[in-house]
Amino acid sequence: MSDQPCGQCPVLHAEIARQAAVIAQLNALVVWLRERLGGLRNAVGAAEALMREQAEQPTMPRGRLLTQLHERLINALIEVERR
């Protein structure tokens, strides 16, 4: 083997650095998406709990329940969009 660099090493190192930056961006995106989806999952879980609660022991008319569910889920979507 020769003591001189092959000439590809700088290109390979540059590509490794580029891909590391892309991976870092994708990891940040995954974290962001998990936070947003977690918030939406919580909102859907709360809506389900409200529906179950109202099915077992109703405290409001069905029309009011549907309005409440709609408002809660819309508010959750708006909150996710703000972030």
Domain total of the chain = 1
* Nearest alpha carbon to residue 44 among 7, 75, 8, 2: 75
Its pTM surpasses 0.75: no
What is residue 1's DSSP assignment? -
- Predicted confidence (pLDDT) per residue in 19-75, tens digit: 999 999 999 999 999 999 999 999 999 999 999 999 999 999 988 999 999 999 999
Give the domain range for residue 70: 9-82
- Residue 5's H or E segment, with its range, is none
Within-domain flag for 53: yes
Within-domain flag for 35: yes
Q: For residue 63, what are its two tokens?
A: 């029309």
Q: How far apart are CA 18 and CA 10, in angstroms?
A: 12
Backbone angles phi and psi of 6, in degrees to 5: -75, -15
- Residue 59's H or E segment, with its range, is none
Within-domain flag for 3: no
